[in-house]
Structure formats: structure tokens, C-alpha cells
């Protein structure tokens, strides 16, 4: 649950930290993981994250000529999937607050945006440096739980959309299959840190990531937050028993 600006704190996993500290703490985690981020995603999810991203792209509704903003796009894996959909006449802008992740994303996309249909910008999802109504679609894959203010991020995504445009959020969510939650908790809190230590040399970051999933709004709560931000026709799709969910909403035409 988001904490108000008046409280002066926000969630950082299970801890409460000063609002102005979260970006720095999250940034330090992704600085340390950036060079092995994609490898760790494959190892930790047993490759499932690729299927989740494929599904999310499929329901995004992105098509030829569209202008798409991929928020918290990091190493560019999701942006690379969107580029063929928008074609030479479209544009996909990869935005991330973390310079290290963005640098890796730039290297990945250097040979893909051959039509000049890709851009990169370091930006905070909560206060985007774009004009109102600049994009046909905004996407946010595995990044909403890391922002300081989720409501501000949703409002920012809404603002830069054209009327009739869509927002798509892919994020870890709350397990819906009975009996699966204890197994998922064991894997998250006991296996992931060990694997993180073996692959990346430090498992502490993965305890934060596991905690951040548990304090992230559940499917219905996030749907309601999108509606409060102004989105209509909001819906979500549970993947892997609710371990991951894709939320979608539209800005009124």
C-alpha cells in the first residue's frame, strides 16, 4: 500500500524508509545487478519471464505506426519485443531511472532500431518529461513495485497517453492457486537469495525483491488504483497461478 507524502516514508520491501531514500536504495540494487540482470531473470524464473513478456506484448494492442513508452525498460528486453510491432513508422522509447541499466539497454537495442524507431531517455516514471498525449501506449514491466509513489506513476502514465491509448503493466502479483503460496514463499526467501549469491555474488538484493512482491498491491487493488487514476475498461490476466499478472486499461477517447 502506498504511503502519503505527509507520512514521509514508503515501503522498501518490509522496511519503511524515507521517501527521498527509496530511489537511491533501489538504484544501488540495480547498479549491482545490471550486468547479470538478464541471466538472473532466466535462472530465477526458469525462463518463464520470456513467456510472461510474450503474453504481455500480445495483449498490449501495439501496432504499426504506434508511439510506445516502455517505462522502467532497463536492459531493453521488453523494448526489443515491441520494436517489430511498431515498424519503421512507429517509435518505442525506452525510459529508465537507472543509468547503468539504461546503458546496457542501449547496447542491446543499438542494432535493432535500424529504422530509427527507438529512443532512450533517463527518466523518473513519476514525473515523465513528455507532453500530454504523446504516446499511443505506455508499458511498465516488472517496475511498478520499485517506484516510490505508485499513484504518481499511474497518473504520469495516464497523462502522456493519447485519448483512447492504453497502459499495460506486467508485474509480480499475488498467488491465487490454493496451496501454492507456501512453496512460492520458500522459493522466494530461501532459494532465490542463494542462487543470487552464486550467480551475482550477492543474494541480499533478492530478499528485497521477494519482499517487494509481497507488499505490492494485489490484482484487484491495482485494478482499482488504475481506475482511480482515470483509466477505464481495466482488466487483468493472471499468469502462472497469479504469480504474475498483466493489467491493462485505456484512457477515455
User: For residue 3, is pLDDT > 50?
Assistant: no
Whether 72 maps to a domain, the answer reads yes
Q: Is residue 187 part of a domain?
A: no
Residue 192 lies in a domain: no
Residue 84 domain boundaries:
5-176+208-250
Residue 120, in any domain of the structure = yes
Q: How far apart are CA 173 and CA 147, in angstroms?
A: 15
Strands 118-122 and 91-96, by their bridges, are parallel
Enter the C-alpha cell of residue 188: 522466494
Summary mean pLDDT of the chain: 89
Average pLDDT value for residue range 220-242: 97
Three cell numbers, residue 212 = 517487494
Distance CA 156, CA 134 (A): 12
How distant, in Å, are the alpha carbons of 83, 98, 110, 132, 164 from that of 76?
Answer: 10, 12, 10, 24, 26
pLDDT of residue 200: 62
Q: What was the pLDDT predicted at 244?
A: 94
Give just the sign of the alpha carbon dihedral 34, 169, 208, 194.
Answer: negative
Q: How many domains does the chain have?
A: 1
Examine residue 191 and state whether it is found in any structural domain, yes or no: no
pLDDT band at 23; cut points 50, 70, 90: confident
Q: Look at the pTM and tell me if it is higher than 0.85.
A: yes
Instruction: Please check whether residue 44 lies inside any domain of the structure.
Output: yes
Q: Please check the confidence at residue 6 and state whether its pLDDT lies above 60.
A: no
Residue 180 has pLDDT above 50, yes or no: yes
Beta bridge partners of 246: 170, 237
Write the CATH number for 56. 3.40.50.150
Answer yes or no: is pLDDT of 65 > 80.
yes
For the ranges 78-82, 112-116, 158-162, the lowest mean pLDDT is seen at 112-116
> Is 185 part of any domain?
no
Residue 185, pLDDT above cutoff 60:
yes
pLDDT average, residue stretch 37-58: 86
Amino acid at each position: 500500500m502506498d504511503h502519503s507524502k505527509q507520512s514521509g516514508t514508503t515501503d522498501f520491501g518490509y522496511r519503511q524508509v524515507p521517501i527521498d531514500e527509496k530511489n537511491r536504495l533501489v538504484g544501488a540494487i540495480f547498479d549491482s545487478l545490471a550486468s547479470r540482470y538478464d541471466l538472473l531473470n532466466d535462472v530465477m524464473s526458469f525462463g518463464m519471464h520470456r513467456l510472461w513478456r510474450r503474453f504481455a506484448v500480445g495483449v498490449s494492442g501495439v501496432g504499426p505506426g504506434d508511439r510506445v513508452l516502455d517505462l522502467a525498460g532497463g536492459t531493453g528486453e521488453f523494448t526489443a519485443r515491441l520494436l517489430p510491432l511498431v515498424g519503421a513508422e512507429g517509435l518505442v522509447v525506452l525510459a529508465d531511472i537507472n543509468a547503468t541499466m539504461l546503458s546496457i539497454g542501449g547496447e542491446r537495442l543499438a542494432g535493432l532500431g535500424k529504422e530509427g524507431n527507438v529512443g532512450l531517455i533517463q527518466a523518473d516514471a513519476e514525473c515523465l518529461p513528455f507532453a500530454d498525449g504523446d504516446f499511443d501506449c505506455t508499458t511498465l514491466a516488472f517496475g511498478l513495485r520499485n517506484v516510490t509513489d505508485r499513484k504518481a506513476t499511474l497518473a504520469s502514465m495516464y497523462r502522456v497517453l493519447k485519448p483512447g491509448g492504453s497502459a499495460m503493466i506486467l508485474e509480480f502479483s499475488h498467488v491465487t492457486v490454493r496451496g501454492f503460496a507456501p512453496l512460492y514463499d520458500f522459493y522466494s526467501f530461501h532459494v532465490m537469495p542463494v542462487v543470487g549469491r552464486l550467480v551475482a555474488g550477492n543474494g541480499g538484493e533478492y530478499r528485497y525483491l521477494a519482499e517487494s512482491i509481497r507488499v505490492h498491491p494485489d490484482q484487484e487493488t491495482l485494478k482499482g488504483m488504475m481506475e482511480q487514476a482515470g483509466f477505464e475498461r481495466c482488466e487483468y490476466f493472471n499468469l502462472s497461478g497469479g504469480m504474475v499478472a498483466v493489467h491493462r486499461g485505456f484512457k477515455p477517447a
